[in-house]
Chains A and B, each alone.
Chain A
Amino acid sequence: AQSVTQLGSHVSVSEGALVLLRCNYSSSVPPYLFWYVQYPNQGLQLLLKYTTGATLVKGINGFEAEFKKSETSFHLTKPSAHMSDAAEYFCAVSDQVSGGYNKLIFGAGTRLAVHP
C-alpha cells in the first residue's frame, strides 16, 4: 500500500531563506505525487504535481519539487521564503483502486513558519 512520510512536523525559516520541506513516499507502482498547501482556516490548494515526464516540477508561488525515484523522495523547495508562505503543507501520493479510480494518501503535514 502507498504511504507518505513528511519529515518534520514544524519548519521555521527566516524571510528570504531557502524553504525545504521533505517528503518520502512508498509505492509499489510509479507514483503520482502532489503537494497541497492549507492556509489557516482554508481549504487545500494544489501547489504542484508530478505524474510523468520531467522530474523537476514547478508550481505556484515560486515552489518547485523534484521527484527522485532512487531516494523515493519528492521534496518541496522555494529559494526565498515570504511571510505569506506560512501555512500547512501536505505531500500526497495517488493510490489506485480498482476500476481506474484513485484516492489520495496524505502525509501528516508540515507547518511552515516564516519569521522576519
Chain B
Amino acid sequence: DTAVSQTPKYLVTQMGNDKSIKCEQNLGHDTMYWYKQDSKKFLKIMFSYNNKELIINETVPNRFSPKSPDKAHLNLHINSLELGDSAVYFCASSQYLKETQYFGPGTRLLVL
C-alpha cells in the first residue's frame, strides 16, 4: 500500500489554465504539507495543514490555494498557471509533534 500518494504523476498544461493536484495519505497522520522542488532541485515548503486547518503558509502567490477536505487529504489548486510554476510538487505527511515527514512520489508539472 502506498503511504502518501499523489495524482497525477505528470501534468502538462498551457499558461493561463487552472489545475489541481491531489494528495492522500493512509498513515493516519494529522498534518500534511506541500513542497515545491524547482528546476535546480531546491525544495521549499509551501503550505501545511493540521486536521484541515492551515498551519503554515509561506510566501506563495495567492494563485495557489490548498484545500484539505479531511486530515487524510490535501489538494493543491493553481489558478492562471505561469511558466515559473513548472516544478515538481511533493506532498508529505507527519503526525503532530512528531518530526519525521513522509513524502509522496511527486507531481511533475510542466507549463507551456
Residues of A within 8 A of B (CB): 32, 34, 36, 38, 41-46, 49, 51, 88, 90, 94, 97, 99-104, 106, 108-109
Measured in the bound complex, the distance between the Cα atoms of B100 and A36 in whole Å is 11
- Asked if B48 is an interface residue, CB under 8 A from chain A, the answer is yes
Known: A101-B56, A102-B99. A43 touches B106 (CB 8 A): yes
Known: A43-B106, A88-B41, A109-B41. A104 touches B55 (CB 8 A): no
**Chain B contact residues: over half helix, strand or loop, or mixed?**
strand
Known: A43-B90, A101-B50. A94 touches B99 (CB 8 A): yes
Residues of B within 8 A of A (CB): 4, 31, 33, 35, 40-45, 48, 50, 55-56, 90, 92, 96-97, 99-106, 108
Measured in the bound complex, the distance between the Cα atoms of B4 and A46 in whole Å is 13
**Chain A contact residues: over half helix, strand or loop, or mixed?**
strand
Write out the residue numbers on chain A whose beta carbons fall within 8 Å of the beta carbon of B43.
Answer: 44, 90, 104, 106, 109
Say how far B38's CB is from chain A's closest CB, in angstroms: 11
Chain A, residue nearest B45 (CB): A103
Measured in the bound complex, the distance between the Cα atoms of B45 and A90 in whole Å is 14
Measured in the bound complex, the distance between the Cα atoms of B32 and A101 in whole Å is 11
Chain A, residue nearest B58 (CB): A103
6 sampled A-B residue pairs with Cβ under 8 A: A44-B92, A46-B102, A88-B41, A97-B56, A99-B55, A101-B55
Known: A99-B55, A103-B33. A109 touches B42 (CB 8 A): yes
Write out the residue numbers on chain A whose beta carbons fall within 8 Å of the beta carbon of B41.
Answer: 38, 88, 108-109
Measured in the bound complex, the distance between the Cα atoms of B101 and A46 in whole Å is 8
Q: Which one, A44, A45, A100, A101, contacts B48 given CB within 8 A?
A: A101
Say how far B10's CB is from chain A's closest CB, in angstroms: 10
Say how far A106's CB is from chain B's closest CB, in angstroms: 4
